[in-house]
Structure 1
């Protein structure tokens, strides 16, 4: 039977004390660079894997962070999980992922139970929960550190990561205008997502900058999913003067728009141009491939975890760069 390597073995191999090894493992300060290097080398050589339970008892921490999300896009959730895991792995921290339904009457009770039973050292909130007043109040009452991804309200309440949704949407709409379109429709996301309002604001700003008056009948609300994109496109194409281009607030909604256009026998982009937002893998799999805005979700997640693990101050905001990706759909 293989003997399990213990913290005492690491201390012996590195010529330090158990307390010093513990400080290095817990990323504490006041450990010399040479000493830290010796301990880390011994950890690697011995393939030492510290016990979460033991570390918790010793340092009054759980060495766990929780991702609390409610998003209809599996691609978004997966990228968010991967980015947080990439960063937490560096510090030997475990990630708890808990999907929630923002419309459930048990939302707050379930979140409170997660905190009480798992005791995470911090929480990462994604839209729309990052702007949910009741959730924010619960976390404040529990005095648990948290980071918000893409918040739209109460700046400075907690550290946050974001992209400039307004500028990104403005750039994409300007691209459609440069292609000669004047009747550009927008399939917006749900109203309780701050990103929905931000992207609509960028869309309208680009129209106004080109001397085009925004038309209410050319904006239809969706749910950031395929089905609502298809439903919204049917509504838009039934207008007396249908649009020549559609900017959907997510790639999944844009894919739904593509499906309807294909079913109606419309040529893309000759008869109608369609663009999305996000640059999920889906964007390059559909035909024709989607013009979209690249939202680097994995980077947003990594930065959010980094803010949490480094105990950033509430006013620390990190912007992650977006990019306009032009493909055959426009």
Structure 2
């Protein structure tokens, strides 16, 4: 039974409405989003239950809004630089297509349930999943149960049942390590990303494979843990640079953490790249904001935002026309962008 206090406060959720109406959460979602696969009797029961529980959705208005596209974007503990670059592309595409983009942040380990409920309550027709939520099986399962189209952004192992847009993270990281080796580096350290994010796993595997390919060992002390944030990159960089023998280069799993490496190096009065080469991944605006500018793997994040909106828009249109939705996986190109943080004459200037 629903707690009376919570109902009185108007805090009922989509699931509470479903229980009171005697229907599934998927059915409530369909009513809210105005899909036609619900009979009038069921639609009325859902509307009545929502009114009784003070569920903060005007169900009739949501059901009538079938012409416009309302796209949700779910994010959690992101790289701020990645998210901002992605938003620019997504908002540009939404603007040109007449869609609205609604953002919702996940708080805590299970906050994604409340976040999804908020998006559904806001009448979204589909949801974009940014890292690391793009790899969350519980999130994908819930969206499928609610009959909400989704697109996974920057996942390295896209689900067969979910559209996705990504690059080849393994080959991108492999190319970066080969680039460092071509500059003469043999002692290269690595900062990992969020272990729940598949690209982080592939980038680390590519680092190990490239080092093995070159006949170079990777002692455990040359690998540090990170979480894709600038803040997590600071202790990781200190751990690597406070060793009695420092590596000649550090490859961080993204630009945020690479920027943290540069900051720590400066604090230790090390000169980049004379004393230490630093490389990142993503080529976010941050890569050209820090000094020296970061060598990085360019991921077309803005274009990924545009493509993600295109894919979700097409899925929504198919759903409205009761057509089968086609799952599409878009693989976009990457390239290594050499900049001052790993300049070729690092040995000559040492």
| 1:44 equivalent in structure 2 | none
| 1:106 equivalent in structure 2 | 111
What's the offset of the Cα at 1:151?
Answer: 2.0
Determine whether 1:276 maps to 2:288. no
* Runs of 5+ consecutive residues of structure 2 not aligned to the other structure: 1-58, 319-324, 343-350
| 2:245 equivalent in structure 1 | 241
1:66-119 deviations in whole A, cap 9, x for unaligned?
111124322222222221222222321111111223x3433213312321x122
1:95-150 deviations in whole A, cap 9, x for unaligned?
1111223x3433213312321x1221111101111111221111011011111112
Determine whether 1:131 maps to 2:143. no
SS at match of 2:341: coil
CA contact (8 A) 1:56 1:62 kept: no
TM-score by length of structure 1 reads: 0.78
> 1 CA distance for matches of 2:176 and 2:61?
48
SS at match of 1:228: helix
CA contact (8 A) 2:104 2:115 kept: no
Q: Which moved more, 1:309-318 or 1:77-86?
A: 309-318
> 2 CA distance for matches of 1:287 and 1:158?
39
| 1:321 equivalent in structure 2 | 333
Where does 1:35-50 land on structure 2 (aligned, <5 Å)?
none
Q: Which moved more, 1:203-212 or 1:53-62?
A: 53-62
1:238-286 deviations in whole A, cap 9, x for unaligned?
3343211000111111111111111212222121111111112221121
Q: Which moved more, 1:148-157 or 1:123-132?
A: 148-157
| 1:145 equivalent in structure 2 | 149
| 2:263 equivalent in structure 1 | 259
CA contact (8 A) 2:156 2:169 kept: no
| 1:10 equivalent in structure 2 | none
The number of residue pairs the alignment matches comes to 276
1:292-313 deviations in whole A, cap 9, x for unaligned?
1111111111111111112284
SS at match of 1:155: coil
> 2 CA distance for matches of 1:243 and 1:215?
11
1:212-260 deviations in whole A, cap 9, x for unaligned?
1333221111121222222111111233432110001111111111111
> 1 CA distance for matches of 2:148 and 2:67?
12
- 1:161 aligned residue (160, 165, 170): 165
> 1 CA distance for matches of 2:269 and 2:228?
24
| 1:196 equivalent in structure 2 | 200
Where does 1:13-32 land on structure 2 (aligned, <5 Å)?
none
| 1:288 equivalent in structure 2 | 292
> 2 CA distance for matches of 1:283 and 1:162?
20
What's the offset of the Cα at 1:327?
Answer: 0.7
Q: Which runs of 4+ in 1 moved over 4 A?
A: 53-59
Do the aligned partners of residues 152 and 168 (structure 1) sit closer, same or farther apart at CA in structure 2, a change above 3 Å counting? closer
> 2 CA distance for matches of 1:163 and 1:291?
18
Determine whether 1:78 maps to 2:84. yes
* Runs of 5+ consecutive residues of structure 1 not aligned to the other structure: 1-52
